Structure 1
Amino acid sequence: MNQVICPDLETLTTQALMLIQKRVFASIDQQGRATLALAGGSTPKRLYQQIAAQSWPWHQIHVFWGDERFVPPDHPDSNYQMTRTAWLDRVAMPGSNIHPMPTVPLTPTAAAEAYEQELQAFFALQPGEFPVFDVILLGMGDDGHTASLFPHTAALQVCDRAVTVGQKGEEPRLTLTIPTLNFGRCVIFMVAGANKAHAYTQVTASQPNGEQYPAALIRPQGGDLWWLVESTILER
């Protein structure tokens, strides 16, 4: 695990940008394209705005999402909508390179199955294989959840699919599964806010409780794991 402590969110964002850019360009050099699974929430919004100001080879970059709230794509709570506003609508990325998770009018189960099929087709997967993203960007809630993998929910047990239905209380969400996240070549957590301090301590403990703090279950198999952490989290 690589840990970078940042004094503020702006520095954290700059660190994330540099790390992602390095991985994106390396992936394009090696395989002609780069695949990213994006996070929602407030912390990465500034990062997406900074990415939009870059001159990257957009036609060689494909973006997916690690999770999505089950709302229409133009809803204010949509991770996809936030990313479009902050980044994607500001650059000349081909529409075919943008792969949002489907939501309504499908049922959550049908939407998860549809995204699973899209991943299988894009990555040319054989039965039992998982997609391998070049970069996976994650956040963490003050309860230790990441993507839409919440404590003590059924989604934590799904190990035979790339996509499943997560549950935040009564609210269904779509999420990549733990095996999918652990196949990432570079997994980056961006964590800001003093309210995350307790969860961060538990997640990074020597023997964490993954059922209680799901972010602890993200341990890439052969990929790099980065925790970019605002210093207020360590000021316990």
Structure 2
Amino acid sequence: MQNRHISSYSSLENLSQAAARYVIQVAQEAIADHGRFTFSLSGGNTPKALYNLLASEPYTSQIDWNLVELFWSDERCVPPDSADSCYKMALDTLISKIPVPANQVHRMLAEQDNRDAASQAYTDEMHRVFKTSDVPEFDLILLGMGPEAHTASLFPHQPSLKENERLVMPVSVPKPPPARLTFTPPVLTAARHVLFLVTGQDKAEAVKEVIEGQHNPEEYPAQLVRPTQGEVTWLFDTAAASKLTHKF
């Protein structure tokens, strides 16, 4: 893939610093090009260090947070103050520490009983912010990957992998908490930039299959993320990259 970039780092700290520099570069280019930076955040443990860096100097002041729109690629169907909430993790590590306007933080209301309605509401919110009725083109979507190669909340052998109409949909996944909302493949493949952060030995086999194996997204959903016009960047720690034949 011409638009795929791969690097590995000796520690989470070094990986997170590289990720912070990348986010800043994309943010500055987006703001210079079209006046704002649309950034979809990820949950999980790996991005916490990145968020802490972006919330501190010398990183924070390099982004004009007044021109940033924050979204999420997926959310667990829990209250926003739950320890399982992707929103709460980002709030605690990043959002509460940066001068981003509250009305530019677009939380998935995943705790609502009607998950189809919540999915549609988030789609409507994206259409409103992006001023389009088509698939929004994010400047940057941040993603992780699980040991079974899931990304966002797109898990192996689930109907969500083949969804082409809805942009956000409810799913039930084989990992607690099971009820979630997630971006669908059309949103992930429309992004200008996608940044994967993947750490840990437990991801090594999935990394090898996703990067070097045959194209089989039904088994390895992260392979679906091949931006049509944009680029995808993978940042691994040495443990996650340990089974790759080619060393990056």
Give the TM-score, by structure 2 length.
Answer: 0.92
1:160 corresponds to: 165
Residue aligned with 1:233, SS: coil
* CA distance, structure 2, for counterparts of residue 105 and residue 174 of structure 1: 11
* CA distance, structure 1, for counterparts of residue 227 and residue 112 of structure 2: 34
- Report runs of 4+ in structure 1 exceeding 3 Å deviation: none
Query: CA shift at 1:106, angstroms?
Result: 3.5
* CA distance, structure 1, for counterparts of residue 104 and residue 135 of structure 2: 19
Q: How many residues align?
A: 234
Query: CA shift at 1:206, angstroms?
Result: 4.6
* CA distance, structure 1, for counterparts of residue 213 and residue 149 of structure 2: 15
Tell whether the 8 Å contact from 1:80 to 1:100 is kept in structure 2 after alignment: yes
Tell whether the 8 Å contact from 1:149 to 1:167 is kept in structure 2 after alignment: no
2:206 corresponds to: 199
2:67 corresponds to: 60
* CA distance, structure 1, for counterparts of residue 166 and residue 30 of structure 2: 25
Tell whether the 8 Å contact from 1:69 to 1:78 is kept in structure 2 after alignment: yes
Matches within 5 A, 1:1-236: 1-53=4-56, 54-55=60-61, 56-126=63-133, 129-169=134-174, 171-236=178-243
Structure 1 runs not aligned, ≥5 long: none
Query: CA shift at 1:208, angstroms?
Result: 2.5
Structure 2 runs not aligned, ≥5 long: 244-248
% of aligned pairs identical? Answer: 38
Give the TM-score, by structure 1 length.
Answer: 0.96
Q: Cα RMSD over matched residues?
A: 1.1
Tell whether the 8 Å contact from 2:77 to 2:112 is kept in structure 1 after alignment: no
